[in-house]
Chains A and B, each alone.
Chain A
Amino acid sequence: NAGVTQTPKFRVLKTGQSMTLLCAQDMNHEYMYWYRQDPGMGLRLIHYSVGEGTTAKGEVPDGYNVSRLKKQNFLLGLESAAPSQTSVYFCASSWGYAQYFGPGTRLTVT
């Protein structure tokens, strides 16, 4: 079991560019999440999904979109990147309360 995987691991974007982050899990979890983590701050929920074909907004959804076309995958999109979106992004999945995290994607927007 690979658990939760994320691609890419690192990315540098220019302001206004777009990109998609991919999260995949092989644990057959129903729930999936995208968080951002900034220095000295806790994890903040961007969007989440309670099953294939569903998405919902979290605490900080502005500037991001998501899709869950397959149960095992959860995509996070940035349509027009801004410097404020420089962060480390974590994907997580769960079947109950406990969430299991991927290794993260470090994104820098210049």
Chain B
Amino acid sequence: GESVGLHLPTLSVQEGDNSIINCAYSNSASDYFIWYKQESGKGPQFIIDIRSNMDKRQGQRVTVLLNKTVKHLSLQIAATQPGDSAVYFCAEYSGGGADGLTFGKGTHLIIQP
């Protein structure tokens, strides 16, 4: 989930297991969502996106699920690898123009060997 304080939520998984990272978004009118990955000391990297007319979208080793009823988004990473260790955050576009993308604070994914 998303943090409202100074410390990010942490998810610790074993290497090779599947990871599920969750995000509760705020605006029921949001029609586009993105997941970003941010490694330590680097800029956010686009992973996958989904439009509100879809429930599921798959990429390479990643799947995004969207539940509009409860305003919930999740990112599933299959067969988690050490290189997946990063902060993951969701973003929602709720309209209003070029500045309509808002970002969550993120979840820190830690991979245990």
Which residues 24-63 of A sit at the B interface, judged by CB distance below 8 A? 31, 33, 39-43, 45, 48, 50, 56, 58
Shortest beta-carbon distance, B4 to chain A, in Å?
A: 9
B104 at the interface (CB under 8 A from A): yes
Indicate if the CB atoms of B5 and A40 lie closer than 8 Å. yes
- A42-B89, A98-B34 given as contacts; is B43 within 8 A of A103 (CB)? yes
Shortest beta-carbon distance, A26 to chain B, in Å?
A: 15
Indicate if the CB atoms of B8 and A48 lie closer than 8 Å. no
Indicate if the CB atoms of A42 and B101 lie closer than 8 Å. no
Indicate if the CB atoms of A97 and B34 lie closer than 8 Å. yes
Indicate if the CB atoms of A42 and B99 lie closer than 8 Å. no
- Point out the residues of chain A lying under 8 angstroms from B101, CB to CB: 97, 99
- Point out the residues of chain A lying under 8 angstroms from B46, CB to CB: 98-100
**Within the complex, which residue of A4, A48, A102 is in contact with B99, where a contact is CB–CB below 8 Å?**
A48
A90 at the interface (CB under 8 A from B): yes
- Point out the residues of chain B lying under 8 angstroms from A56, CB to CB: 98-99
Shortest beta-carbon distance, A89 to chain B, in Å?
A: 10
- The residue in chain B whose Cβ has the minimal distance to the Cβ of A90 is B43
Indicate if the CB atoms of B43 and A104 lie closer than 8 Å. yes
Indicate if the CB atoms of B3 and A40 lie closer than 8 Å. yes
B42 at the interface (CB under 8 A from A): yes
- The residue in chain B whose Cβ has the minimal distance to the Cβ of A32 is B98
